[in-house]
């Protein structure tokens, strides 16, 4: 019995949840054999009542490193350090909430004798919030997120890449966390790709084996901008597959509106210019839209001017044209965007005659 107590303490100090639970069950069994049923029942009730995901607070983690370069092969972010201000689209909200509920129901599902696969694959264009979603899930579950660093994970010595992958998964398996594999296609390319070497194909086999082993107890999220490159066997490993796409028209309007509320902008969203702006932002990613809005807002602060549509339209025009345009082209664009000529002249600090000349108005 003393052995079990020592092992439980060791497991607690090393943050090894599996060890704590295993030896707690051994202790409960011995207590029951000794007739201490009430205490044994209390221990088992405590174990079964746990979410199975102990929370880490104010703890330091030593990230795993590549043996040759001594560079970290992962970054660890604690839930209390995750600062997010996001709007999740309805199409994505449901599967994300379902995944969070699935993790929180892990013990209930396993108590029914069922296996559970806590994995999610996020795919879609860059800048649409896949990494942010992974952090959001970690924040909601109140557990650390271990983010793989493929720049150091993939060793120049190919034989070490498989070792680094194993080291990463072993590390994530040793403590309650989410293992997040961003830019997943970097190591999960199709094995029938003729451009890949035999060694890299062996890396994928190693990856698949580690995923299978890890998902017996761990939580895995992967993200890719190039889902077409993934090996077919990869898709079968993930319980949830979510397409994180560019925002639709309603989502764009919500994104702009929420931004304007956040910065306390005095901009009328009932103005027809709001619909024009929403149309311009079509086919842009979430991050592109926020980047343009930020640039416009920063400019208004720098120039100590009122944050208005002319600033936002101007930044959009610069972004779409890679900052290559003439003054006349900017004038015509602002005019087409329903900005009055006088306001264009004031905003660009030019005369009304220059505006009219650009518009060929005498």
Q: pTM value?
A: 0.74
| Closest C-alpha to 67, from 2, 146, 132, 156 | 156
Residue 194: predicted pLDDT: 54
- Spatial contact of 50 and 17, defined as CB atoms under 8 Å apart: no
Other CB atoms within a 10 A radius of the CB of residue 185 amount to 21
Find the mean pLDDT for residues 122-128. 91
Burial status of residue 34 (CB atoms within 10 A of its CB: 0-12, 13-18, 19 or more): exposed
Quick one: tokens of 69?
Answer: 């370069």
* Contact call for residues 122 and 130 (beta carbons, < 8 A): yes
Mean predicted confidence (pLDDT) in 254-274: 89
What is the per-residue DSSP string for 74-114?
Answer: EEEE-GGG--------HHHHHHHHHHHHHHHTHHHHHHTT-
Res. 32 pLDDT band, cuts 50 70 90: confident
Domains of the chain: 1-49 (no CATH), 75-243 (3.40.50.300), 249-359 (no CATH)
- pLDDT tens digits, residue range 304-361? 888 999 999 999 999 999 999 999 999 999 999 999 999 999 999 999 999 999 998 5
At 211, give phi and psi (nearest 5°): -65, -45
Tokens 């069922």, residue located: 114
Chain-centroid distance, C-alpha 55: 20
Q: Which two tokens stand for residue 330?
A: 């900017």
User: Per-residue pLDDT for 266 more than 90?
Assistant: no
347 near 310, Cβ under 8 Å?
yes
């Amino acid at each position: 019995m003393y052995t079990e107590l020592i092992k439980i303490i060791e497991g607690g100090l090393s943050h090894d949840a599996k060890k704590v639970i295993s030896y707690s069950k051994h202790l409960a069994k011995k207590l029951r054999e000794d007739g201490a049923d009430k205490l044994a029942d209390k221990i088992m009730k405590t174990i079964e009542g746990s979410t199975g995901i102990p929370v880490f607070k104010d703890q330091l983690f030593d990230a795993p490193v590549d043996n040759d370069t001594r560079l970290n092969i992962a970054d660890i972010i604690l839930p209390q350090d995750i600062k997010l201000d996001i709007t999740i689209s309805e199409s994505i909200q449901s599967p994300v909430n379902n995944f969070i509920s699935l993790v929180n129901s892990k013990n209930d599902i396993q108590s029914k004798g069922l296996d559970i696969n806590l994995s999610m694959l996020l795919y879609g264009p860059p800048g649409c919030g896949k990494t942010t979603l992974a952090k959001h899930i970690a924040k909601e579950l109140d557990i650390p997120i271990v983010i793989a660093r493929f720049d150091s994970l993939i060793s120049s010595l190919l034989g070490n890449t498989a070792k680094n992958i194993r080291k990463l998964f072993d590390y994530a398996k040793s403590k309650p966390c989410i293992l997040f594999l961003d830019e997943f296609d970097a190591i999960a390319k199709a094995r029938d790709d003729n451009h890949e070497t035999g060694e890299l194909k062996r890396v994928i086999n190693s990856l698949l084996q580690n995923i299978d082993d890890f998902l017996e107890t761990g939580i895995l999220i992967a993200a890719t901008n190039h889902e077409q490159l993934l090996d077919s066997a990869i898709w079968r490993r993930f319980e949830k597959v979510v397409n994180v796409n560019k925002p639709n028209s309603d989502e764009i309007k919500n994104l702009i509106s929420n931004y304007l509320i956040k910065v306390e902008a005095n901009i009328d969203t009932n103005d027809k210019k709001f619909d024009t702006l929403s149309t311009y932002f079509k086919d842009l990613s979430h991050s592109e839209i926020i980047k343009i809005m930020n640039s416009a807002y920063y400019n208004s602060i720098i120039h100590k001017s009122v944050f208005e549509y002319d600033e936002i339209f101007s930044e959009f025009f610069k972004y779409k044209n890679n900052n290559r345009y003439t003054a006349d082209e900017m004038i015509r664009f602002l005019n087409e965007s329903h900005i009055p000529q006088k306001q264009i002249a004031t905003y660009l600090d030019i005369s009304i005659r220059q505006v009219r000349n650009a518009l060929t108005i005498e």
